[in-house]
Structures are given as C-alpha cells and as structure tokens.
Amino acid sequence: MNAKAQSVLVTGGAGYIGAHTTRQLLAAGHQVTVVDNLYSGHRWAVPPEADFHQLDAGDRKAMTGLMQSQQFDAVIHFAGHIVVPESVANPGKYYQNNVVGSLNLIKCCQKADVGLFVFSSSAAVYGNPKEVPVREDAPTDPINPYGRSKLITEWTLRDFAERPGPGRPMRYVALRYFNVAGARLDGALGQATPEATHLIKVACEAACGRRDSVSIFGTDYDTEDGTCIRDYIHVEDLAKTHLYALAHLADGGPSQVLNCGYGRGFSVREVLETVQKVSGQDIHIIESDRRAGDPAELVADNHLIGQTLGWIPEYDDLELICRTAYQWECKAPWN
C-alpha cells in the first residue's frame, strides 16, 4: 500500500466508520479534514489532530468555500443516512441527503479540481441476489430506497468519471459494504449511532442491560434456520479498505467498484448466540414479522478487492467482532 501522504477531506468523519477511518488515515501520516453536521456523528469521535468543520457535506456553498480555502487531494465520502426501514418509510429524506447531497459534493469536487473520490456504498445495491456469494458484476436491483440511493450515486460517479471535456477527470472507488460491526481492540472507539438498528450493536445493548429485548425480524426465510444471513466485517478491516482504495487511486489506478466483506455469512440466530457467548449474558429474544426491505441472504464474493487493492483482512472472526462490540458498549462514553 502506497504510504504517500495526502490531504484528505472526510465527510461524515464523526460517524462510526468515518471516525475509525480518520484515525487510520492520521496514523498513516495523511492530513485529514473532517466535515460532519453531527446528525448522527459525535464531536468527541474526531481526533484532535484532524481539522474539524461542522458542515453539511451536501451544502454546495459551504463545501465550495471550504475547498477554495484548502487544497485537497482526495475526498472520502461517508456522510449519508443508512437505516433501511426508515428509507422505506421516508424515501424523500434518503434521496435528498444521499443522492442530491452526494451530487452537490461531487460538483464541488469537480469545481475545485479534486480528482480522487472514495465512496461509501452498500451491498444493498444488489437487492435479493440470485447467486451467493455475490460478485461485483452481479445484477444490481435494490429493493429499498436506501439501496437505490447508493446505486444512483455510484452511477453519478461513473458518469462524472467518463465525462469528456477540460479539467481533471475524476477517478473513484465505490466500496460496497456488507454488515460492519465491532470496535477498536483497544476500546477507544466503537459504534455510537443513536437508535441504531444493526443487529450486533442491538444485541450488545441488550447484553449490557440497556435494551429489554432483541427482535428477530422474520423466521421463515429460505435459509437453514429461517433467519436472514449476513456477511459481518470488523470495522477496523473496513476502515483499512479506504486507505487501500486511496493508495490505489493515488498510484493512478482506474475507477473500481469493490465488495467489502469476508465472504462468509452468519444467520441472525448464530449472531445472537455468539453475543450471548462472549458476554456471558442471556438475551430476551422476540420473534417478529419480516421487516420491509430485508433480503434473505447477503454474502460477499471478496476476491476482487484482494486482487485489485491487495487488501487482506486481519479480524475475520465473528467472536472477536462481537466481543469488541460488547466491550465497547459496556464502557462507552454515554454510560
């Protein structure tokens, strides 16, 4: 991985994945500027070494001003709404923030001649894939507004990258996240998203006594135990993919769309059993109806990211993911 220092603008850098990535960027010697409106991020999650601006990444006037005052080599774009059921209930919120906001940011990059862009996309773009593990060239058919908002932004980046005309052409890497979870091994940072819906965090909240129960949304899926199957990736491994993507682009690499996952899945029941095992706590489990917008199984084919970026995961262990998430939850700043 190229260690050349760069000036990097990180949008959503006070959020869960953004804050972990910001720390890794700083540790690698990059100069980091964080933009976050603190809608779901936290000011304390941003290291003091990073230059912080409380702004909306989709505010063209504010972002144009920032990019005029500082010269950036690259943008890593995390800022976006991510709750699938909310996107179904309130699609306009997701198209406005995730699509329009991203378009505004991309236009600002074009105007400021920032040619390198790493985008926080999602496996939700695949919808219900016909083949699992799912490859990057599989059909994209998202089944919820959240997934559609991510796919539209991928298309936008592709069109800007392919446009003719003057100015620096944009090159990008769109990273399609599978299910991120866990916390730093030193306990310094973890998921603090308010009213989170991610299974491992919710289960850890229950194990710590801050939630009465955990619901399984659907027990009649066409899977071995009837519950949804997901590919869980440790947040530190996911954060590292952004540094690899940045190095790829800095070295002149072409635009890419890449899966970020471990290539194996676990059911909801398996995850709940693992959280109970690592915590030593019983969790009250309620079986509920299916949740709108949930595919039965999402597991990554992750060969391309290894071949393209040379990325090798370090924390591919469900027990480790759940243990670090539980330890963080029990010692988190809001306790």
Q: What is the CATH number of the domain that holds 62?
A: 3.40.50.720
Considering the domain boundaries, does residue 293 fall inside one? no
35 occurs within a structural domain: yes
Q: Is the pLDDT of residue 165 over 80?
A: no
Residue in 199, 107, 190, 191 with CA at minimum distance from that of residue 153: 107
pLDDT of 7 strictly over 70: yes
**Across residues 17-37, what is the average pLDDT?**
98
Establish if 219 belongs to a structural domain.
no
Cα–chain center distance at 135: 18
The answer to whether position 297 is within a domain reads no
Q: What is the pLDDT of residue 324?
A: 98
208 inside domain:
no
Query: pLDDT band for position 164 (50/70/90)?
Result: confident
Average confidence (pLDDT) over 137-157: 96
Whole-number average pLDDT of the chain: 94
Contact between 89 and 117 under an 8 Å Cβ cutoff? The reply is no
In-domain check, residue 313: no
Number of structural domains, the chain?
Answer: 1
Predicted local confidence at residue 1, as pLDDT? 62
Q: In this predicted model, what pLDDT tens digit does every residue of 65-75 receive, in sequence order?
A: 999 999 999 99
pLDDT higher than 90, residue 194: no
Within a domain: residue 225? no
Residue 5 banded pLDDT, cuts 50, 70, 90: confident
Q: Look at residue 163 in the predicted model and tell me its pLDDT.
A: 87
* CA-based nearest residue to 1, from 245, 255, 294: 245
Q: For residues 87-109, give the mean pLDDT.
A: 97
Residues 88/144, Cβ–Cβ less than 8 Å: yes
In tens, the pLDDT along 219-233 reads: 999 999 999 999 999
Please state, in angstroms and as integers, the Cα–Cα distance from residue 231 to each residue in 142, 145, 177, 216, 294, following that order.
17, 21, 9, 17, 14
The CA distance from 53 to 37, in Å, is: 8
Supply the pLDDT for residue 259.
98
pLDDT of residue 71: 95
Q: Which amino acids are annotated catalytic? A: 146
Structural domain including 87 reads: 7-181+232-260
In a domain, 238, yes or no: yes
Can you give the pTM of this predicted structure? 0.95
Determine the pLDDT at residue 295: 82
Q: What is the pLDDT of residue 331?
A: 87
Q: What whole-number percentage of the chain has pLDDT above 90?
A: 89
pLDDT range class, residue 257, cuts 50, 70, 90: very high
Cα end-to-end span (Å), the chain: 38
pLDDT of residue 167: 67
